Structures are given as structure tokens and as C-alpha cells.
């Protein structure tokens, strides 16, 4: 058997093993969270030895990076680019909120655990920094139509940022028992109320840019 073939096959097996470990880690993180997931549990779930896990992922950073990259590739957050073609500020906000809430509902088990795990594993917050930056962009794209000729109302920008937050969605949906449609209507009403305040001459409001 040619040596090149042997090396290629060995690399393929290593990649397959690495992928099994990543998939096992994702499953456990989604079920019980990273804080409760042990290397032994990952090894058992993946059908490998503990040392094999360590060979592929020698520390928390490499393991969390592999797990996060795989999960987000399967569950990408909503892309706000197409919202920019929606001229109506209210319609853009409504669609953006709806798509954000659909995403939160689909990924709720994982991000419920991740929110807690970040307290114990600061490295996870660092790894998720691009993910958080993406949601900042979502906020900016949804709030940009509600700007005056000179600046964006900081209250509206903050409110929209709060509205699209996973923790806010979970609080209103799970604790206050609102469904996604009710939440969209609620936040649109809040932003519209600030717009109406401005139109009535009340300070700190604003109207959508024409």
C-alpha cells in the first residue's frame, strides 16, 4: 500500500475522530451545559478514550472553539442584510424581530446553558465575541431607519438592542407567557410610542427618517 495513501487515510480517520468529539460535545453542551460536561462524558459519547479527546483538544479554548464553530455553522443567526432593503422602519423592525425570535426559540436549549457557562468559563465569552458583535449589527440595522437627520435616538437604539436579546426574549416568553407575535407587537408599539412622543413635541423621541 503506497505510503501517501496511508498518510491520507490516517488524516481522514483523525478528522473523523475530531468531528465525532465535536458533535458529542455539542450534544452534551445542549443537553446539560458546558459546566457539567466532563471529558469522560465527551469521550463516552464520542466512543473514544479520554486521552484521544485531549490529543485533539488540549484545553478549554480549543474545545469551546471547535464546539461553537460547529454549532453556529449549523445554526447561523439571522442575516440582517436583506432587511436594509425594507424602507418602512416599522416593517423592518417587525420582520427583524420576528426572525430574531424564531432563532432564539430554535437555539434556546444551547444558549440557556451558554449564558450560565460564560460565568464559569470567561474564555467562552471571548470566543462568542463575534457572535455578540453580529447582534450589535442587527440592532444598528433595525434602529437606523428611526434616526433624525443628525443622530439616532439612544433610547430607541437601546430598546431595540434589549428587544433582540436572548435573555429578554426568554424572560417575556417563558416567565411572562407572551408568544412571539405578541412580543413583536409589544416592541413595535414601544418604538412607535417614542416616535409619537417626538411628533407631539415631547423631548427624547424621534421620527423615522424619510
List pLDDT tens digits, range 81-127. Answer: 999 999 999 999 999 999 999 999 999 999 999 999 999 999 999 99
- The pLDDT, as a whole number, for residue 13 is 87
- The pLDDT, as a whole number, for residue 195 is 72
- The pLDDT, as a whole number, for residue 11 is 72
* Number of independent structural domains in the chain: 2
- The enclosing H or E element of 75 equals none
180: Cβ contacts below 8 Å, ≥ 6 apart: 98, 101, 102, 105, 173
Q: Which of 73, 105, 127 is the last residue of a domain?
A: 73
**Backbone φ and ψ of 11, nearest 5°:** -65, -40
The model's pTM: 0.86
Distance CA 57, CA 69 (A): 14
Contact 24, 42 (CB under 8 A): yes
118: Cβ contacts below 8 Å, ≥ 6 apart: 124, 125, 128
**In this structure, are 95 and 34 located in the same domain?**
no
What's the domain range around 88? Answer: 76-199
Listed as ranges, residues in the chain with pLDDT below 70 are 1, 3, 5-8, 148-153, 196-210
Amino acid at each position: 500500500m503506497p505510503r501517501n495513501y496511508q498518510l491520507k487515510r490516517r488524516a481522514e480517520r483523525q478528522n473523523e475522530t475530531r468531528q465525532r468529539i465535536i458533535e458529542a460535545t455539542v450534544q452534551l453542551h445542549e443537553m446539560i451545559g458546558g459546566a457539567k460536561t466532563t471529558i469522560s462524558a465527551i469521550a463516552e459519547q464520542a466512543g473514544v478514550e479520554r486521552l484521544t479527546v485531549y490529543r485533539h483538544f488540549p484545553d478549554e479554548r480549543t474545545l469551546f472553539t471547535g464546539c461553537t464553530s460547529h454549532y453556529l455553522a449549523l445554526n447561523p443567526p439571522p442575516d440582517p442584510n436583506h432587511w436594509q432593503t425594507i424602507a418602512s422602519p416599522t416593517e423592518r423592525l417587525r420582520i427583524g424581530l420576528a426572525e430574531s425570535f424564531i432563532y432564539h426559540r430554535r437555539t434556546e436549549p444551547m444558549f440557556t446553558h451558554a449564558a450560565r457557562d460564560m460565568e464559569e468559563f470567561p474564555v467562552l465569552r471571548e470566543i462568542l465575541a463575534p457572535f455578540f458583535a453580529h447582534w450589535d449589527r442587527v440592532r444598528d440595522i433595525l434602529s437606523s431607519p428611526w434616526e433624525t437627520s443628525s443622530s439616532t435616538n439612544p433610547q430607541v437604539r437601546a430598546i431595540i438592542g434589549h428587544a433582540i436579546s436572548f435573555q429578554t426574549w426568554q424572560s417575556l416568553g417563558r416567565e411572562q407567557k407572551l408568544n412571539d407575535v405578541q412580543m413583536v407587537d409589544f416592541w413595535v408599539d414601544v418604538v412607535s410610542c417614542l416616535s409619537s412622543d417626538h411628533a407631539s413635541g415631547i423631548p427624547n423621541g424621534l421620527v423615522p427618517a424619510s
